[in-house]
Amino acid sequence: MRKSRAKSIGEKPSQKAPLVAHSPRTKADKQAIASVVLERLRTEYPDAHCELNHRNAFELLCATILSAQCTDVRVNMVTPALFARYPDAATLADAAPEDIEEIIRSTGFFRAKTKSLVGMARALVTSHNSDVPRTLAQLVTLPGVGRKTANVILGNAFSINEGIVVDTHVQRLARRLGLTREPDAVGIEQALLPLFPRDSWAILSHLLIWHGRRVCLARSPKCSACVVRDVCPSAEV
């Protein structure tokens, strides 16, 4: 059995440690890996998509705010009741905070999230004719909305590839694949953008997230079953 480069120096894939024993050094090397990863994961996960249930941009915005420090599965358990009671910005803007808190309590940080939801809805009503804006600059002015949430909305509700959503899975995979050693989400996004074609930015996040949830697990990546193991500098095979 071939001993992996990562294992040879005593590292184990983990969430925090990048585990890139021999990072690709040039942009061309990284682009070659990126190209293979995109193609193989597209084939592996043809149905990859946003796993937050939603029917429109407003619902996705609410669900994404609720997804902070919470699983998509948990968010999907509370949003049917939330959307049934507050189907649009106007109704949510007028909601009693304690009523929202009761519905979203199980997602954690429910008081802060309630504040963000009501503040976001009021901003939509007062500044955006009750519609969700379609630019990053406008989205990030909404309460509870940062660059990551804005990219989720633009890419999934409006099919606008403005950036790459970098969550914990994308961070871990980007480092393990040797595409970046940046320590934070903003730096990782900036490193990934030039490596992938713009029209793939939204789907790329889903592909990496799906792979991170199913194969490249945080604690015990299933490298022997991984379709990109031959190009991954962290592969333990």
Helices 147-157 and 185-192 pack at an angle, to 10 degrees, of 40
Amino acid in the structure at residue 98? E
| Position among 62, 63, 174, 223 found at the interface with ligand SF4 (CB under 6 A) | 223
Residue 177 Cα distances to 65, 95, 124, 167, 229, angstroms:
29, 45, 39, 15, 9
**In the complex, minimum distance from the CB of residue 3 to ligand SF4, in angstroms, rounded to a whole number:** 14
Using the minimum distance from each CB to ligand SF4, give the nearer residue, 44 or 51.
Answer: 44
Of residues 165, 209, 211, the one with CA closest to residue 188: 165
Sole window of 45-53, 136-144, 195-203, 217-225 interacting with ligand SF4 (rule: CB under 6 A): 217-225
Rounded to 5°, the CA angle 170-173-181 comes to 95
Question: Per the residue annotation, which of 29, 72, 148, 184 is the catalytic one?
Answer: 148
Sole window of 48-56, 57-65, 193-201, 225-233 interacting with ligand SF4 (rule: CB under 6 A): 225-233
Using the minimum distance from each CB to ligand SF4, give the nearer residue, 14 or 76.
Answer: 14
**In the complex, minimum distance from the CB of residue 179 to ligand SF4, in angstroms, rounded to a whole number:** 11
Residues 123-152 that bind ligand SF4 (CB under 6 A): none
Does 38 sit near ligand SF4 (CB under 6 A)? no
The residue count for binding ligand SF4 (CB under 6 A) is 14
Sole window of 43-51, 81-89, 92-100, 229-237 interacting with ligand SF4 (rule: CB under 6 A): 229-237
Radius of gyration of the chain (CA): 19
Residue 126 Cα distances to 64, 116, 134, angstroms:
21, 15, 16
Using the minimum distance from each CB to ligand SF4, give the nearer residue, 153 or 226.
Answer: 226
Helices 168-176 and 201-214 pack at an angle, to 10 degrees, of 90
46: left (phi over 0), alpha (psi -120 to 50) or beta: alpha
Active site residue 148: yes
Question: Per the residue annotation, which of 7, 167, 199, 230 is the catalytic one?
Answer: 167
Using the minimum distance from each CB to ligand SF4, give the nearer residue, 31 or 76.
Answer: 31
Does 232 sit near ligand SF4 (CB under 6 A)? yes
Sole window of 49-57, 86-94, 153-161, 223-231 interacting with ligand SF4 (rule: CB under 6 A): 223-231
180-187's contacts with Cβ under 8 Å and 24+ in sequence apart are 181/18, 181/20, 181/23, 185/148, 186/147
Amino acid in the structure at residue 203? I
| Position among 54, 148, 169, 176 found at the interface with ligand SF4 (CB under 6 A) | 176
Footprint on this chain of ligand SF4 (rule: CB under 6 A): 13, 176-177, 215-216, 221-223, 226, 228-229, 232, 234-235
